[in-house]
Structure 1
């Protein structure tokens, strides 16, 4: 009875049926079960793991990017899970502060949906982001370079203040890092540490077999044991490799060219996101605030390398042409770029004559489409141009015994819909809820049966989003005349019939929220 009373006072005690479960956080991992009846305690069984380890944690998250950090924050700030011992391993410098200079912008940004914004607010990170660095946009124009199709969305039509927010990734990361720092009693951060290896070795204690728990070896020799190992370590996940979970998909034979751009007009509120589909891939201009926008252009790798190597003047002329000129102009300019980035013609002179024709064509449609051209771009931030390969990947399963995958470790999506990070946040929310439920019901949160609710909730929505975005890209990349006509008709009908626009707006908002429920934190 004395042992039962000692366990009942433990902060790590949960109840499961008629048993009490204690997760001992002192010394080697130890699971103590006390079976109780109305006559009191009738037995005590203890299984202790070897004492040759350096650290023991309930949850070890490999990857301290935005998705992994958000899960750590959700667990540490929730009253249901804040007693868990959490390790967060990050190879980079999670504590590096982004520049506060308003004229210095990162070239990696994300579109944050209302669901993701609520999640960040619930874990205490949203308010930690400088308001000047989270810019809402309320309008979106999507049009086809190879047909007359054009659609405009305005959040006011659906009674909403905004469609989403554009936020620089490093500012999201800094906000999450501040929450992690504030909850250092729950989260142990292994900053700038790389995972050297992950293994699983069965052990025995007191004559009873103990489950084989993942053992993480860091590059400095530190060893961690995890009741639950979470892979948030990107597309080349070591956690996924350790769990022998296959990832299937394909490469797009495209690169995403990104850059930070300055606009001609600094007085405009800059609340419109622009996306134009071309046969080579979509190009998007995402508003960062008055006078600044972020470029994301999906294009073939060889063209991407040539575009990145262009001198600033030619680069600006090409990007402006990509948004303002007929498709033939863009194709001609691209053909004049040599492998080293040098050009064989005067881009400004060649692009100018097609620009007026493009505006006239758009003006002819403006009476019923309200179509406009994006703002002129006047400069590109130094060293902001970069490219990264695009691919689609989805793991055949998201969980295994004592392993869960979230974010890019579980799936990788084309950036044209801006949903990669939002899907990752949805994964983190779902896994948090699954862990919380496991703690409340006294389950071993690392066992696969306790993790299955997360996989069941996220697998189908994630896969559906991946395939939907893939199909959209292939539809707009098809140059067949029949397909072009169908695109023009579909976009035109969508933009003309107001009830359809409102319905599609709500549908797109639902899709952007990635089928997530309220976090329930």
Structure 2
């Protein structure tokens, strides 16, 4: 039942929050930690109870964290909590072909030893990363966490407020939506989206295999969609397998032995015998970009701003770039005595991130369209392209640095520097 008196108490208690963040997945906590450690008072709202979010059950999900993203996690104190569970990605091998026929003789091989900074990235399982974020937030006195569903938001003089389903009203100078591709924060602000469906579904699982992977990530392009084999700790790998939607639904409905039978010809025998480790799940693949990353006293981060094909494993990395950029813009504005939710401050964030994310989204879209087909002319062109890049060390090193997240106008946290 709505209690106006209780609402007033909540407003009084939370009026001093500088930033409200809606969404407690990964980007939201990362932003909260970056801001709180720079002196901002942050409230994180998530619809899911913390006990559920802290559940460490293994569901097969894992993330490819670029080297620049690892630097950000180190800077906000999360990396030391997960480093023992992180698997370095030392090499990346990109091939093209058909299931059961093996790859084309033309390939692309990225070796981390060609750059000075170290491994290009790390694989970290969701069951380790998510609890590490939650624990770090629990220990930070500058962060308040609330379990609740936002049902309304309103811009007011000098602040923005949100109303939760239980009637609580919270206010701050700035509201940040980290609430995914179907962002309620964006839709309540009237921000529309542009995008399209790929007619593909991502099948995700983890496997155990007989032979060691040696820290090598594989991307095998096939006509229905790419198969990524990404190294986890031990003799295990994370699988992200794109298939046409109808076929994916049929495969996902198979019992475990038949699911593996469908995977094996695509996977090949280079890691020996394989078996499932943990649950498997699926999700539709699409491109969706918010027409604006900002509104009055509001900013969007991560999938709330941009959702793209997982072909290059850049989803979380792009979100963490948003985190680094927004945290830097907000903290610098606060140090100058500016209103952190002012339009010119938000415009700085949008200018910094919009072009980069649009370019990345279009690149992943083009790659998917180029490789997810069986056109013989396109096959010849892309295979020759892979071989050409592989044969030219300067061009190959450029691609390696791109994969490591070391190119472009990087926020300080992604360069390994404090804000």
TM-score under structure 2 length normalisation = 0.90
Aligned twin of 2:340: 445
Aligned twin of 1:152: 109
Aligned twin of 1:271: 215
- In structure 2, C-alpha distance between the alignment counterparts of 1:93 and 1:154, rounded to whole Å: 42
* Secondary structure, aligned partner of 1:375: coil
Q: 1:403 to 1:517 in 2, by over 3 A?
A: closer
Of 449, 455, 466, 2:350 maps to 455
Pairing 1:256–2:256 present? no
- In structure 2, C-alpha distance between the alignment counterparts of 1:116 and 1:466, rounded to whole Å: 18
Aligned twin of 1:317: 261
Of 375, 384, 390, 2:271 maps to 375
- The answer to whether the 8 A contact 1:64-1:94 is kept is no
Aligned twin of 1:351: none
Unmatched 5+ residue regions in structure 2? 1-7, 99-103
- In structure 2, C-alpha distance between the alignment counterparts of 1:518 and 1:377, rounded to whole Å: 44
Of 86, 89, 94, 1:137 maps to 89
Aligned twin of 2:5: none
Aligned twin of 2:101: none
Of structures 1 and 2, the one with the larger relative CO (CA 8 A, separation 6+) is 2
Of 289, 313, 324, 1:418 maps to 313
Pairing 1:112–2:65 present? yes
- In structure 1, C-alpha distance between the alignment counterparts of 2:247 and 2:185, rounded to whole Å: 34
- Runs (4+) of structure 1 moved beyond 4 Å? 512-515
TM-fit CA distance, 1:148: 3.6
- The answer to whether the 8 A contact 1:150-1:492 is kept is yes
Aligned twin of 1:227: 173
Aligned twin of 1:162: 119
Larger Rg: 1
- In structure 1, C-alpha distance between the alignment counterparts of 2:81 and 2:396, rounded to whole Å: 35
- The answer to whether the 8 A contact 1:149-1:487 is kept is no
- The answer to whether the 8 A contact 1:106-1:168 is kept is no
Q: 1:94 to 1:513 in 2, by over 3 A?
A: farther
- The answer to whether the 8 A contact 1:194-1:219 is kept is yes
Of 231, 247, 271, 2:193 maps to 247
Q: 1:126 to 1:500 in 2, by over 3 A?
A: same
* Secondary structure, aligned partner of 1:129: helix
* Secondary structure, aligned partner of 1:106: coil
The 5-angstrom pairing of residues 281-360 of structure 1 reads 281-324=225-268
TM-fit CA distance, 1:374: 3.7
Unmatched 5+ residue regions in structure 1? 1-49, 203-209, 325-372
Aligned twin of 1:340: none
Pairing 1:491–2:386 present? yes
> How many aligned residue pairs are there?
400
TM-score under structure 1 length normalisation = 0.73
Q: 1:217 to 1:411 in 2, by over 3 A?
A: same
